[in-house]
Structures are given as structure tokens and as C-alpha cells.
Amino acid sequence: MKKKQKLFFAVLLLVLLVGLFWMTRHPETHKAVEAKALDRIPVSVACVSQAAVRDSFSIVGNVEAIREADIFSESAGIVRRVSAEPGEQKKAGETLLMLDNELATARQKKADAHFRQAKRDVDRYRNLYKEGAVALSAYETMQLQREEAEAEFVAADKKYKDTKVNAPFSGVVTSRLVEQGELVHEGMKVAHIVDMSKVKVIIFVPEREMKRFVEGTSLTVTSDLYSGEIFSGKVTAVSDKSGRDHTFRIEVLLQNTGKATFRSGMFARVLSSGEGDRQAVLVPRIALVSGIRKPEIFVVRRGKAFLKSFLAGVELQKQVEVLGGLAPGDSVVTSGQNELYDGADVLVIDQQKSSVRP
């Protein structure tokens, strides 16, 4: 037994010595193999797949009231009565504040009396003119005086009515900025009111998704605050001009009644889903070298990486649809792209499995 062990170690030592002798006699071969291994860039790859997808799109937007307005006083004076509190519902035309109207009332009465007298004078001069008792010029003068009196009455009546600050539309008073006894100046902001009977969700949609949001299209709206609740909305406005980020402003209108109601400033998610599933060619999103506007990808073939552009479709959570330029089964680089260049030698260290379905 000991003789066999000694023989084994002797043979092993001889093999090592022969290998060492060969490496010392052929150093250039060893260095070439090592250099070749170092020149290859390690990458991870995945296969382009084909699978059933459903065209869907979701985006978060801000909730705004259908109408809201700052309310300003058109007259100056002391606040004599306050008829609105924050959170109070008001109908269109209801009084929110009443200012001191004593002087405005007196001017309105005086203007009204002057106007009524001017109308009687015109009627009297008309009869006299028909009888030939007065000249036409005298009759025309009385007509002008009546018109002046009417204009004065309209102005005075407007000043009188401006002493009441009314709700321009039905809604909820969100703030009141003056108190009873306070002096209000003309043009001063006194309250704010919002109409929350309907709300609009403002979203900004990328150019490639615009076809989903035609005016009149019905959409689903959800909110994290009302988990499980589904609301129905409709596209009511689509901007004709995009912003600098190539997104378009879209308004989605929905009723705001019931127990689950939205408030201005909340977040809501707008969902758009297609009808049924369809087959699509998909590539991992992490394989993209640049942005989605100019999609490029490295394809590995026979140990080399080639930069290739392709036509992108819809974006899914972790994948991008391929409309052209790639085929199912192509190996694409998912890690190590930053070190690559077109035609670079690569060493695949990890290959993700992906099923290719018809």
C-alpha cells in the first residue's frame, strides 16, 4: 500500500515538473492566453422574449375643483354683516358679506327720483311737440336729459348692489379674509370659494400615449385614500401644445358625489386599459443603453457585442415592447453596457432564462 502511494506522488511530481518546464520554455503562449481573457469584457445577458401583453397605462395626477374663484369687493366700506363661514355651502347669488350701504342707498334713491322725473318730462314734451306748442329742439333736449338720468340711476344702483358681496356660483367657502366691523377697500380680496360637485384630474401624458386620451374617452380613476373604490371619468380637454418634456396636459372630469369624495389638491391615478391580450416581442428595460426616445441595445453574437437600435412600442413595468429591429431569442446585454463599444469582445458570466412563447 505504501509503495502505491509513493508511486502516485512520484508521478504527480513528474507531471508538475514537466508542466513547469513547458511554461518556462513557452512564456509567450501563456501570456497570450491570459491577455486574451483580460481583453474580453464580462457581461450579463438575457434573451428577447415573446409573450401575451395587455395595452394598459396608468399615471398619477392632481385633483382640482371644477370651478374656484377669489372673491373681491367692488365697493368700499365697513363690513356690517358676515353671512359666510369657511366650510359653509353657498348657492349662486347668496350673500357672503354686506357692507355699510347708507350712502349708496341715498344716492340710488336720488338717482331713481331724477330718472322718473325725466321720463315724465319727456312724455309731457312729446305731447306738446305733437300739438306744436314746443320746438323739436326742446323735445330732443328733454330726451337727452332722460338718457343722462337713466345712466346716473344705473351707476347708483350698481354701487348700491356692490355693497353686497355675493357667491358667483354654488360652492363651498374655503376662506373668509375679513370680519364684521372691518374696513374694506374697493378691489380687496375678501373670500375664496370652490365648486366641488365635479372635479377634474390633471395629468401630463407622453406623446406616444396621446392616442389613448381622445376627448370623450371614458377612463378609470382610483385613489390610494379610497382603496378598492373605482371612479369613472371622461376626458374633457386635451392640450394642443406640449411642454418642454414632450408631455401634454389632459383634464379628466368625474362626478364628486357620495361618501368617497375628492378634495382639491389630492392625488388620483388615471387608468387606461386595452381590450384583450395580444402577442408582443419584449426586451428587458435594463438592457437599454440610452433613453426610450432613441432606444439602442447591445446584442451578443459569437462572443462579440454589437450596438443595435430598434423601434420601441409601449413601456411595461420592467420590459419594453419591440416593434422592429430585434427578434425573439436574441441575446441582449443587461449588465456591463457602460464598458462596451460596438464590436467589443465579451465574456458572458450570467445568462438570464426567459421563456419564448408563440
pLDDT tens figures, 54-95: 777 788 999 999 999 999 999 999 999 999 999 999 999 999
353 — phi, psi (to 5°)?
A: -85, 135
C-alpha cell at 281: 416581442
Q: What is the C-alpha separation between 252 and 215, in angstroms, rounded?
A: 9
Strand (E) or helix (H) holding 105: helix 102-131
- Between 313 and 97, whose confidence is greater? 97
Looking at 20-34, 98-112, 278-292, 307-321, which range is the least confident one?
Answer: 20-34
In total, how many domains does the chain have?
Answer: 3
User: What band does 35 get if pLDDT is binned at 50, 70 and 90?
Assistant: very low
CATH number at residue 288: 2.40.420.20
- In a domain, residue 31? The reply is no
Judge contact between 302 and 294, C-beta under 8 A: no
Per-residue confidence band for 33, with pLDDT thresholds at 50, 70 and 90: very low
pLDDT value for 282:
92
DSSP 170: S
Average pLDDT over residues 267-293: 84
Domain containing residue 108: CATH number: 1.10.287
Is residue 95 domain-resident? no
- As a whole number, the mean pLDDT across the chain is 86
Q: How far apart are CA 59 and CA 210, in angstroms?
A: 13
pLDDT at 357: 40
- The model's pLDDT over 163-215, given as tens digits with 9 standing for 90+, comes to 999 999 999 999 999 999 999 999 999 999 999 999 999 999 888 788 888 89
pLDDT on residue 276: 66
What span, in angstroms and rounded, lies between the C-alpha atoms of 345 and 304? 5
* Residue 324 resides in a domain: yes
Residue 196 and residue 202: Cα distance in Å, rounded?
15
- Residue 308 inside a domain? The answer is yes
Span 40-49, mean pLDDT? 90
C-alpha cell at 326: 430585434
Please indicate whether residue 135 or residue 39 has the higher confidence score (pLDDT). Answer: 135
Q: Is 50 exceeded by the pLDDT of residue 247? A: yes
> Which is nearest to 191 in space by CA: 87, 106, 304, 281?
87
Does any domain span residue 256? yes
Q: Of 240, 273, 306, which residue constitutes the final position of a domain?
A: 273
**DSSP collapsed to 3 states, 225-249:** CCCCCCEEEEEEEECCCCCCCCEEE
Residue at 88 is within a domain = no
Quote the pLDDT of residue 235: 95
What is the spatial distance between Cα 114 and Cα 233, in angstroms, rounded to a whole number? 56
The least confident of 139-143, 226-230, 326-330 is: 226-230
User: Which among 273, 290, 311 is the end of a domain?
Assistant: 273
Q: Looking at residue 26, what is its pLDDT?
A: 53
Proportion of the chain above pLDDT 70, given as a percent: 87
| Long-range contacts, 17-23 (Cβ 8 Å, 24+) | none
Say if CB 351 and CB 45 are below 8 A apart.
yes
User: Could you tell me the pLDDT band of residue 12, with boundaries at 50, 70 and 90?
Assistant: low
Per-residue pLDDT, 207: 83
Give the pLDDT band (50/70/90) at residue 356. Answer: very low
Boundaries of domain holding 119:
101-161
Q: Are the C-beta atoms of residues 13 and 244 closer than 8 Å to each other? A: no
